[in-house]
Amino acid sequence: MTIWFSEFYSDTCKFDIAVKRHLHSEQTPFQRIDFFDSEEFGIFFTLDGYMMVTERDEFMYHDMIVHVPMAVNPDVKKVLVIGGGDGGTVRELTRYPGIEEIHMAEIDERVVRLCQQYLPVTAGKLDDPRVRLFFEDGVQFVKQRTDYYDLIIIDSTDPIGPGAGLFTVDFYRDCYKALNSKGILINQHESPFYEIDAVQMVKAHAKLKEVFEICMVYQFHMPTYASGHWLFGFSSKHFHPIKDHKREEWERLGLKTRYYNSDIHVGSFALPTYVREMLEQAAIEPEWK
């Protein structure tokens, strides 16, 4: 008998992965964590039944969340990752010798410990000497910093459960305050296709536009997320992701990447018309704050 992991994308549509073994399951004070092994995607884990990371396609997500901002400001020295408990974002950041300090504020220590056990491919660099782990709510953590980080990456779950606070205007304002005058904010920006994700995409963009001078959205292909089409937000006080793209400087670093390259960098900001229109119309409504 085959066991299947299923994630519903709408009431009438779901995605299934055949599971070889259910490796672990636990309920923490924050969420339910499950680890599975599969033929097609290798080891993967879910939070409250939602897909987070698979061995097979994690490189697409982690390349795009890190190398896009790093190719705009290769002089980044101080970075804060909010969420990101699987460690994949930190792993990519540690490849930059110029980065001096990487703080990670992850609410649930169990995600980190289990990823260190089952997903060393993403968690393997969390012991880099430049990395400091803070097992705290990112919403509170960011309030304590002013004018400090060059880059903040919100590597969050969806805006439900513990992740809800990471999608508010107040939180984005606190991130703005924690960034220095050239600071960049990257956020997990949901997806335009299924209604439930598209609503959150529009809301996040409307809120970020209230706070940041430069506010853009870029796309990437993510086979295990709903529709396979996913977005990150690029918000900044100073840098424009295309006009300030340091193509040659980044290429001189000689980093080998499987998804990101300098052409993808530029192309990822060219959004389909229906997505562009949804984002252009995004406007804040009082009850969203």
**Using CB under 6 A as the criterion, which residues of the chain lie in contact with ligand SAM when the complex forms?**
47, 52-53, 61, 82-86, 105-108, 111, 137-139, 155-157, 162-163, 165-166, 188
To ligand SAM, the closest distance from the beta carbon of 80 in angstroms equals 11
Would you call 155 a catalytic residue per the annotation? yes
Cβ closest to ligand SAM, residue 74 vs residue 159 = 159
Structure tokens at 51: 């897909």
Nearest Cα residue to 268 out of 200, 210, 202, 222: 222
How many Cα atoms within 13 Å fall on the side-chain side of residue 39? 7
User: Cα 164 from chain centroid?
Assistant: 14
Cβ closest to ligand SAM, residue 219 vs residue 239 = 219
To ligand SAM, the closest distance from the beta carbon of 190 in angstroms equals 9
How far from each other are the two terminal CA atoms of the chain, in whole angstroms? 48
To ligand SAM, the closest distance from the beta carbon of 163 in angstroms equals 4
How many other CB atoms sit within 10 Å of the CB of residue 273? 7
Q: Among residues 155, 158, 174, 197, which one is catalytic?
A: 155
Cβ closest to ligand SAM, residue 49 vs residue 272 = 49
To ligand SAM, the closest distance from the beta carbon of 15 in angstroms equals 13
Residues whose CB is less than 8 angstroms from the CB of residue 65 and which lie 6 or more positions away in sequence, other chains included: 89, 92, 153, 155, 186, 188, 232
Active-site amino acid positions: 155
